[in-house]
Amino acid sequence: MGVLAFSSMVEGRNEELSTAKLSGGARIHFIFQLIFVKSLEEVDPCSDVTDENIRMVIQNATSPRSSLFVPEVDISLWSFN
């Protein structure tokens, strides 16, 4: 399939548009909007994180001095075992 044919198909300008199924850009849109987004919504990123874990990370990030903000580097290195 040539670049122009592929581009035309994705943009919905293909001369052989199907009336029975989604194709091209419509199929890509369907996958991202309905399937991918639904899958992301089912994931709970905080399922293994407790309030105690969060408190401990904040305390470890502040060192001996109090701090209003937690350094981003400390949070990015945070891993749960």
Q: Give residue-wise pLDDT tens across range 5-47.
A: 777 777 777 677 667 787 778 888 888 888 888 888 888 888 8
Residue recorded with tokens 């122009």: 4
What is the pLDDT, as a whole number, of residue 67? 60
Q: d(Cα 9, Cα 26) in Å, to the nearest integer? A: 10
What is the pLDDT, as a whole number, of residue 77? 60
CA-to-CA separations, 30 to 24, 41, 62, in angstroms, rounded: 10, 16, 45
Report residue 80's pLDDT band, with 50, 70 and 90 as the boundaries: low
What is the pLDDT, as a whole number, of residue 58? 78
